[in-house]
């Protein structure tokens, strides 16, 4: 969770009693497919203010959602919220953990769950802000009952995933002292199956918002230079091998990366503030697309090819989701009023979205929704630049052959 953008409220948001899906302005996209239908949506409100930051599929066809609750919007104590649902968002069980904030959640191979969480405090010393805190790796069984908890002092965890050896990889950043040259140091901590650290790697002067285990057993980290200021050129991806050795470190002309996924052919697609892009297996840019004021918190792969990006409009506070082809051209889009979207997961026949539903100026609910996407053939109209160039080259080749004949 990034505190500056994933809030329990947004000033000026117009609240609605019903969730309504609307098409985004035509100037933002060039859609050529029918937008998915909202199959179901549910809310959870154990306290006055609630939200989900992450959602992941489970082996039984349901979902595990992670978020937080606040009894009071101002000055309240945040508690972690963990909810298990069936395939249509119906609650199976709910667990809360006091005094910690959510980062990520995933199902483990044995049907339990691994949670990344943290706490943070801020003090002012000589007009400089001093950030301190710790991260927690929390292992639960299939019923959400805590089995163990490991503390990583000084770290703000962003994501945690299970590794092939039964351990875990926690990715985030370390808070540097106020007099330091850099505010943060990106870090990956590899642990054993009990959460005990085995090794770590650090990267000064940057902060990692996301990390994933790659198909070859290595890792990819993504983020930005500072968690407080996002400037063009600050975003990065770092690829490591299974032992944590750096294979490549690339920066991109975008402010920040919030999510990254490995594609079936070994490339990486990412989303962040106002941009989404694709890089090859060596981190070299394949294409980059602008999305005009939209913050992409989640990116997923489409079964038919292409990608899905979900997040929140930084201007209006409305949630959005859109699907693209393999060149990043937007084919369909949907927006959600009075709703912010902070996470997404692939689901059979569609996707599950997670975030916040604004109920009143002072209350909100944690929100999940399932959308279904019709299986469509690959589009033939309005191809991306690469497809258009290839088509033009083919026509020239055929014309040349006719002239030689």
* Cβ neighbour number for residue 390 with a 10 Å cutoff: 12
74-76-79-82 Cα dihedral, nearest 10 degrees? -50
Q: Which two tokens stand for residue 282?
A: 């060596």
The string of pLDDT tens digits covering residues 243-253 is 999 999 999 99
pLDDT beyond 80 at 266: yes
367 pLDDT above the threshold of 80: yes
What is residue 388's DSSP assignment? H
Q: What is the structure's pLDDT at 345?
A: 97
Segment 342-359 shows an average pLDDT of: 97
Stated pTM of the model:
0.85
d(CA 91, CA 178): 44
- 78 φ, ψ to 5°? -85, 135
Q: What span, in angstroms and rounded, lies between the C-alpha atoms of 196 and 213?
A: 18
- How far is 297 from 159, CA to CA, in rounded Å? 13
* 391 neighbors 78 (Cβ within 8 angstroms): no
Mean pLDDT of 146-167: 97
Nearest-angstrom CA–CA distance, 405 and 402: 5
Per DSSP, 396 falls in state: H
Average pLDDT, the chain: 87
Specify the DSSP element, H or E, that contains 218.
Answer: none
Better-scored residue on pLDDT, 233 or 17: 233
Q: What is the pLDDT of residues 158-212, one digit of tens each?
A: 999 999 999 999 999 999 887 788 889 999 999 999 999 999 999 999 999 999 9
Q: For 49-102, how does the pLDDT look when each residue is reduced to its tens digit (9 = 90+)? A: 999 999 999 999 999 999 999 977 666 789 999 999 999 999 999 999 999 999
pLDDT over 90 percentage in the chain: 76
The helices-and-strands tally (H runs, E runs) of the chain is 1, 27
Pairwise CA distance, residues 284 & 262, whole Å: 14
Q: What is the pLDDT of residue 3?
A: 41
Tokens, residue 110: 């044995």
Torsion of CA 324, 55, 3, 42, to 10 degrees: 100
For the beta sheet containing 63-70, the strands, ordered from the edge strand earlier in sequence to the opposite edge, are 49-57, 63-70, 78-85, 91-98
pLDDT of 123: 77
Two tokens, residue 389: 């160039």
Structure tokens belonging to residue 326: 């393999």
Higher pLDDT pick, 294 / 395 = 294
- Model confidence at 145: pLDDT above 80: yes
Q: What is the pLDDT of residue 75?
A: 66
Between 70 and 9, whose confidence is greater?
70
């Amino acid at each position: 969770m990034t505190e500056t953008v994933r809030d329990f409220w947004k000033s000026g948001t117009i609240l609605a009693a019903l969730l309504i899906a609307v098409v985004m302005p035509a100037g933002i996209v060039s859609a050529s497919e029918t937008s998915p239908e909202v199959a179901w949506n549910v809310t959870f409100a154990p306290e006055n203010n609630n939200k989900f930051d992450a959602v992941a599929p489970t082996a039984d066809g349901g979902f595990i959602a992670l978020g937080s609750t606040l009894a009071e919007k101002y000055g309240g104590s945040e508690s972690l919220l963990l909810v298990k649902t069936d395939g249509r968002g119906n609650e199976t069980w709910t667990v809360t953990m006091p005094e910690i904030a959510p980062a990520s959640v995933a199902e483990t191979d044995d049907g339990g769950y691994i949670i990344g969480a943290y706490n943070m405090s801020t003090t002012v010393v000589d007009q400089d802000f001093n950030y301190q805190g710790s991260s927690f790796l929390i292992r639960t069984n299939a019923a959400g009952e805590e089995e163990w908890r490991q503390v990583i002092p000084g770290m703000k965890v962003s994501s945690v995933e299970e590794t092939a050896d039964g351990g875990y990889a926690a990715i985030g950043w370390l808070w540097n002292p106020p007099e330091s040259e850099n505010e943060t140091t990106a870090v990956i901590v590899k642990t054993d199956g009990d959460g005990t650290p085995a090794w770590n790697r650090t990267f000064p002067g940057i902060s990692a918002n996301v990390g994933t285990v790659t198909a070859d057993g290595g890792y990819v980290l993504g983020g930005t230079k500072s968690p407080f200021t996002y400037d063009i050129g600050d975003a990065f991806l770092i690829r490591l091998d299974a032992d944590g050795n750096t294979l490549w470190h690339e920066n991109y002309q975008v402010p920040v990366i919030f999510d990254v996924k490995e594609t079936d052919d070994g490339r990486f697609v990412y989303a962040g503030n106002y941009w989404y892009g694709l890089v090859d297996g060596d981190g070299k840019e394949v294409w980059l697309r602008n999305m005009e004021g939209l913050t992409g918190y989640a990116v997923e792969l489409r079964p038919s090819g292409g990608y899905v990006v979900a997040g929140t409009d930084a201007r209006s506070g409305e949630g959005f989701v859109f699907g693209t082809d393999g060149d990043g051209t937007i084919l369909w889009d949907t927006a959600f009023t009075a709703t912010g979207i902070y996470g997404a997961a692939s689901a059979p026949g569609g996707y599950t979205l997670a975030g916040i539903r604004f109920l009143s100026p002072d209350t909100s609910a944690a929100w999940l929704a399932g959308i279904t996407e019709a299986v469509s053939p690959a589009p033939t109209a309005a191809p991306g630049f690469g497809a258009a160039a290839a088509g033009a080259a083919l026509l020239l080749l055929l014309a040349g052959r006719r002239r030689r004949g």
